[in-house]
Chain A
Amino acid sequence: MSSDVYKERSVLLRVIFIVVGAIFIVRLAFLQIFDSTYHKLADLQALRQVTQYPARGLIYDRNGELLVYNEAIYDMMVIPKMVKNLDTALFCKVVGITRQDFLDKMEKARKYSPYSASPFMKQISKEEYGAWQSHLYKFHGFYVQQRTLRIYQRPIAAHVLGYVGEVNDKDIENDHYYRQGDYIGKSGLEKSYETVLRGIKGKKIMHVDVHNREIGPYLDGAHDTMAVEGGNLYTTLDASLQEYAESLMANKRGCIVAIEPSTGEVLALVSAPCYDPNLLVGRKRGENYLQLLQDISKPLFNRALQAQYPPGSIFKVAQAMTALNLGVITPGQGFPCDKSLVGCHGHPSARSVQEAIKMSCNPYFYFTYRRIIQQGKYKSIYKDSQYGLTVWHDYMQRMGFGTRLGIDLPNVKSGNIPDTAYYNHWYGKERWAFSTIYSNSIGQGEVEVVPLQMANLACIVANRGYYYTPHLVRYYGPDSTRNEEFYQKHDTGIKPAYFEIAANGMYDVVHGAGGTAHRANIPDIDICGKTGTAQNIGKDHSVFISFAPKDNPKIAVAVYVENAGAGGVWAAPIASLVIEKYIKGEVSRKDFEKMYRETNPCQKLPLTRVPKKKKK
C-alpha cells in the first residue's frame, strides 16, 4: 500500500511484548530463585516424612531363652497446620473421644509445634486401628505411625531389665535422636544399653496428594533411609534361676544376688518385692507406675544395687583377710570371747581364724580390727588410728567395698567405708581412735554395703583372692560386642592361702559343729557360707553370703532379708535353695522350699531342724 504512514507504530507493540516478557522473567526469578519459602511450603504439604522406627533389640538369657521382645502398636500423629476442614464430630465418634478431649489434645500438639508431627493418640492396638483405618483419609493432617511395645516373656527380673517410657523434654534436648513421643530406656538394662537397643531410625518420604492420600514414595525412595534394628542383648541371667529366686523372696523384702565367680556373670538379681515388668508397658503404664511408686514397700527401688545396708557378720571375712595379709595376726591366732568388749553368743573361744569365722565371734574380730587400726606405727593412738584406717580403707576398696562396682546397670550405689576424712569431719582431727570406730569390725557402725558387694565378697573368697566386675550382658549387637572391662581381673593383692582359710571357715559355718548356718546344708553340695545378723532400727536383717562348691565354685550367692532376724534362719536356707536349684537344676527339699516361699519374716517359722533330721 502506498499510504502506510503509521509504520513506525509497529515498534510500540514490539516494545510492549518485550517489556511484558521481561517482567514475567523477573517475576519468575523472584518466585523460583530468590524466594525459598515456596519450596518449603511445597515440601510441607506434598511430602510427609514418615519415621521408620527400628525394632528395639531383644534380650536373651544366658541359655538363649528370649526374655524381652516387641509387639506392633500404632500411634496416631497429627500435624496441626495440616488439619483443615475436619469434621470434628465424625472424628470424635470414630476415634472414640469427647470433643473436649479433642480440643485439649490439639492444643497440646499445637503447643509442641504447629508444623511438625506429634502424637495425638498413643498405643492404639491393631484391632482399634483396623476399625477406623477406613475413615482416616477424611482427616487431613492425621496419620498413623507404627511403633513397638515391649513384651516381657516371663514376669521376672523387672529390676534388671528395666522399662521403657516416653522421652521427656530433657531427653530430647540432650540427644537429637529423640522426638516427641519416642521411647527411651528409663531404668535397668533398657537404660544402660539404650544406644544399643534403640537401633537407628530410618525415614521414608511419602508423596501425599491434595486429598491427604499417600500416592507413593517420593522419588521412588531415593532419599529414604532404612531403619537399622536395635542390637540384641545376650545377658548372663539364668531365667529359671531368677524366677526361682524371686519366688523364694515372695512375702519378703530384701534381695538375692547370684554371680558366677569365675566370670563375674550375674546369674540372678532379685530385689523384693518384685513386680511384673509388663505392668510398665502400654496405656496403663502411668497408672501402674504411680501405684508402684506410692507402694510403701518400694517395689521400684532396686535393693540389690541401691540399698546400703549394714553388712553384719559377713564383713568379718574381709577383716580376717586384711589382718592376715597385713601380718597383724597369724592363721593360728586365738582371741578370748570377751563379752565385756562386745556382745556375743554362747560359744567357746576361737583358737584360729578359721574357728573365728565358723563361730562368728564378735570379740575375736574386735581384737583383730584393733590390730589393723592400731598397728603401733605411731606413739599417739590418734595418729596410729589414722594410719591404720587408711590402710584398712585401701583393703576394703580392693575387695570392692566403698566403691561403685562397675556393673552395667544404672544407679548402683557405692555403700560407705569410712575414711579418715569421714571421721575427722564428725569428731575432729585426732579426736578419734580405735575405740571410737570398733563397730566396723563386725559390719556395723558406719559401714554400709550394697548387696551386690556382698555377693562380690563371696566371689572373691570363691576365687581365692580376685573378682571380675559383676555384669549382666555377655555380649550384644550383631557383632557380639563385648565390654572389655568385664574381662579384667581385679586382684585384691591378698594371698590365696589366706582365702583358703576363709573358705575352710565358711565351709565349717555350714557343716562344722557350732557353725551358724546348718540350715544351708545340702548333703551332696559343699556349700561355704557366712551368716550375718545386721542390727538396725527394728528387727535385725538376716544376711548370708555363700558359694558352692568349695572347690571350683560355680555360684556365689548373697541373700539379704530385711527385718527377718538371724542370718542362719532366713538368709542361709534361701541361699542354699538357690544354690541347689542352680547346681542340680531341681530342688529336692520341697517342704523346705514351700516353707520359705510361703512364710513371711513376721511369722514364726513352723519348724526349726525338722527337715534336716528327716533327711538324716
Chain B
Amino acid sequence: MENKLDWITLLLYFVILVFGWLNIYAACYDESHAMVFDFSTKHGKQLIWIGVSLLLALVVSLTDVRLFSSMAYVFYLIMMVLLVVTLFVANVTKGGHSWIDFGSFKFQPTEFAKFATALALARYMSNPDVDYKQMRTKVISWTIVLIPALLTLLQHDTGSALVFAAFLFPMIREGMSPKILIVGLVAVVLFVTALLVNSYIVLAILAVIALFYLFVWLNKRTRKHYLWTIGLFLACSLFTMSVDFVFEHILEPHQRDRIYVLLGKTVDTHGTGYNVHQAKIAIGSGGLMGKGFLNGTITKADYVPEQETDFIFCTVGEEWGFVGATVVILLYLALLLRLIRLSERQYSRFTRFYGYSVASILFIHFFINIGMVIGLLPVIGIPLPFFSYGGSSLMAFTLLLFIFLRQDQERTQTLL
C-alpha cells in the first residue's frame, strides 16, 4: 500500500519557506533594484536555492527508501572525510572557516554532516541488541555524534558543533537516562551564577542546600545518602571553581564578550553588543502589528548585520510585529510537534530515531537562533531552518526533512 507524503508537514514546510523568502526579499530590498528575479541579489539567489532544494526533495521522494538505511554508514563516512578535507582546504583558503569554495558556489559540509550523522546513528540504533543500559551502546552512539561535532569545532564553528547536542533527545527517547538533561541544566545555572556573582558565594549556597537536604529534608539518613550528597556537592563545587578558568582560558575572547553582553555585564551597543542591540531595536520597534512588509525602517537601512542570514527573525519582528513573530514561532512549534507525532507512528526503530533526530536538530536551530536574536542567548551564529538566506543550510535541511518524510511514507513497507 502506497501512502502519501505527510501533507501537514509539507504544508508547514512550504509556508515557512515562502514566508522566509519574503523576509529575505525585505531584508535585501532596495527600491532601485526591486526586481524579484534579479539573480545578482540575495533574494534572487535564494530563489535558485529554493528551486534546487525542491528538486532534491523530489529526488528523495522518488528514491528507494531502503537506500537510506543501507547506505547510512557510507554517507556518514563520506561526510566525515569531507569534514576532514574541509579542515585542510578551508584552513588554507579561508583562515579557519567551514566553507569549501567551488568557484562562485560556496558549500558548508557541516550542514550535511547533520543528516549523515542522524542516518548513521539511526542505523546503529536499529540493531536489536542496542541497549542504553550497556556501556558499549553508550560509547558507540556517543562516538558517532562526537566525531563530526569535534571536527566542526576544529573549524571554529562552535554554533554548528553545538547542534550535535540535538542527538541527546532521540537517545533519551531510546532509553538513555534523562538525568543528563538535569545535569546540563544545573551546569548552566551554576555557570551563569558563578559568572554573575562570586564563585565562593555559589559554593556557600551549595553547601547550605546540601546541609538542608541532609539534615532537614531527609527523615532517614543512610550512609549512601551522605556519600551521594557529599559527592554531588564536591562535583558541583569543582565545576563552579572551574568556571572562571574555563571562561578565561578555554573560551575565545569573542565568546566571552557575547556571554557578558547577554548577562548585561558589558553594555556596549556600538561594539560587541551592537548586533544584539540593533536586533532588539528592530524587533522591539515592530510593535503589535509591525511596520508592514518592506516598511521596516531598521531593516531597510541595514542597521542589523547578517540580517538576511542568522538575524532574519528581526525582519519578521519589525515588519510583521508581535503577531507575525508569534505566527512564525507557532509554525515551527507545529512542525516540530508534527514530526514527533510522525516519529511515534513509525514501526521501525530506524525511522523513529531518525525522525526524532530531525525534530531535535530543527529544534536546536530554532531555539538557538531565535533565542539569540531576541537576546535570551549569547550570539551563536546558526541559521533558522528553511528561513535564513543560504543554499547549504536550505538544501541540507530539505534533505534532512524529506528523507524522513519519504521513510514515513513507506512506514508500512519497512515492516517487512
Tally of A-B Cβ pairs under 8 angstroms: 127
B374 touches A31 (CB 8 A): yes
A20 touches B367 (CB 8 A): yes
Q: Is the interface of A mostly helix, strand, loop or mixed?
A: helix
Within 8 A of A (CB), among B350-402: 356, 359-360, 363, 366-367, 370-371, 374-376
Apart from A35-B284, A211-B302, what 5 extra A-B contacts exist at CB < 8 Å?
A17-B363, A25-B326, A28-B322, A32-B286, A209-B300
Binding site for B on A (CB under 8 A): 1, 5-7, 9-10, 12-14, 16-18, 20-21, 23-25, 27-29, 31-33, 35, 37-39, 41-43, 45-47, 84, 207-211, 215-216, 218-219
Chain B residues near A27: list those with CB within 8 A: 374-376
Chain B residues near A47: list those with CB within 8 A: 297
Question: Among the listed A25, A41, A210, A219, which residue makes an inter-chain contact with B302, where contact means beta carbons less than 8 Å apart?
Answer: A210
A9 touches B284 (CB 8 A): no
B62, chain A: closest CB distance, angstroms:
28
Pairs across A and B, CB under 8 Å, 8 listed:
A5-B175, A6-B174, A13-B340, A21-B332, A28-B326, A28-B329, A45-B303, A216-B31
A217, chain B: closest CB distance, angstroms:
11
B371 touches A84 (CB 8 A): no
Residue B349 at the chain A interface, CB threshold 8 Å: yes
- Chain B 154-178 near chain A by CB (<8 Å), digits 1 or 0: 0000000000000001001111001
A28 with B344: in contact, given A13-B356, A41-B285, A47-B297 (CB under 8 Å)? no
Question: Among the listed A1, A6, A46, which residue makes an inter-chain contact with B298, where contact means beta carbons less than 8 Å apart?
Answer: A46
Chain B residues near A84: list those with CB within 8 A: 270
A43 to B291, CA, bound (A): 12
B137, chain A: closest CB distance, angstroms:
14
A210 with B173: in contact, given A31-B283, A32-B322 (CB under 8 Å)? no
A10 touches B284 (CB 8 A): no
A14 with B340: in contact, given A25-B326, A25-B329, A207-B301 (CB under 8 Å)? yes
A386, chain B: closest CB distance, angstroms:
77
A17 with B337: in contact, given A27-B376, A46-B303, A210-B303 (CB under 8 Å)? yes
A16 to B185, CA, bound (A): 13
Question: Among the listed B284, B298, B332, which residue makes an inter-chain contact with A37, where contact means beta carbons less than 8 Å apart?
Answer: B284
A43 to B344, CA, bound (A): 49
Question: Among the listed B283, B297, B349, B375, which residue makes an inter-chain contact with A32, where contact means beta carbons less than 8 Å apart?
Answer: B283
Residue B280 at the chain A interface, CB threshold 8 Å: yes
A84 to B325, CA, bound (A): 32
Chain B residues near A9: list those with CB within 8 A: 172-173, 178
Most B Cβ at <10 Å: residue of A5, A31, A32, A208: A32
B349 touches A31 (CB 8 A): no
A46 with B297: in contact, given A9-B178, A10-B173 (CB under 8 Å)? yes
Chain B residues near A218: list those with CB within 8 A: 297
A177 to B260, CA, bound (A): 46
Residue B333 at the chain A interface, CB threshold 8 Å: yes
Most A Cβ at <10 Å: residue of B298, B301, B376: B301
Considering only CB atoms and an 8 Å cut-off, how many residues of chain B contact the other chain? Answer: 52
Residue B287 at the chain A interface, CB threshold 8 Å: yes
Chain B residues near A33: list those with CB within 8 A: 287-288, 322
Chain A residues near B295: list those with CB within 8 A: 219
B298 touches A42 (CB 8 A): yes
B360 touches A42 (CB 8 A): no
A209 to B288, CA, bound (A): 24
A21 to B328, CA, bound (A): 10
Question: Among the listed B172, B301, B343, which residue makes an inter-chain contact with A12, where contact means beta carbons less than 8 Å apart?
Answer: B172
Chain A, residue nearest B363 (CB): A17
Residue B309 at the chain A interface, CB threshold 8 Å: no
Chain B, residue nearest A6 (CB): B175
Chain B residues near A215: list those with CB within 8 A: 31, 300-301
A32 to B289, CA, bound (A): 9
B329 touches A21 (CB 8 A): yes
Chain B, residue nearest A41 (CB): B281
A13 touches B360 (CB 8 A): yes
A207 to B348, CA, bound (A): 57
Chain A residues near B366: list those with CB within 8 A: 20
Residue B147 at the chain A interface, CB threshold 8 Å: no
A43 with B178: in contact, given A21-B330, A207-B300, A210-B301 (CB under 8 Å)? no
Residue B347 at the chain A interface, CB threshold 8 Å: yes
Chain A residues near B281: list those with CB within 8 A: 38, 41-42, 45
- Chain B 307-340 near chain A by CB (<8 Å), digits 1 or 0: 0000000000100011001100110110011001
A219 to B340, CA, bound (A): 44
Chain A residues near B403: list those with CB within 8 A: none
A208 to B298, CA, bound (A): 9
Chain A residues near B340: list those with CB within 8 A: 10, 13-14, 17
Chain B residues near A32: list those with CB within 8 A: 283-284, 286-288, 317, 321-322, 325
Chain B residues near A37: list those with CB within 8 A: 284
